[in-house]
Structures are given as structure tokens and as C-alpha cells.
Amino acid sequence: MPTESNESLGVALNVAASVFFALMFAYTPLLGALDGGEIYGWRMLLTFPCLTLFILMRGYGWWRAFTDA
């Protein structure tokens, strides 16, 4: 059973994701000079470091077993 803290965090993250999704329409005119391959490349280039940073900040991963000991 989820706690109230987890529920409010989930709602906040859902709202944030919806806002970011809506903001995508605001910056699409700036991407007019790029073709599909370039946009995909930038997306992949930026996803990896951001996802790695998120994982490290949240403490997920196999290294957590070693740091908690």
C-alpha cells in the first residue's frame, strides 16, 4: 500500500511530466533548422548523461549494495 508521501510525489512528477510535454510545442520552432536524424542524435546525446545523473542521485543500482554496507 503506497504511503501519502509516495502518492504526492507521484502526482507532482505526473504534473511536471505533463508540463514538460506541453512545453515541447513551445520550442519546436527552434528545431526547424535540424532534420530528424539530428534531433534524434541530440535527444540520445542528452538522455544518457541526464539519466545517469538521475540514477546516481536516486541511489539505484548495484553499487548501492556496497555503499550501504
In percent, the amount of the chain with pLDDT more than 70 equals: 77
Taking residues 20-34, what's their average pLDDT?
77
Sequence spans of domains, the chain = 1-32, 34-69
Q: Evaluate if residue 29 carries a pLDDT over 80.
A: no
Question: 3 — alpha (psi -120 to 50), left (phi > 0) or beta?
Answer: beta
Calculate mean pLDDT across residues 11-15: 86
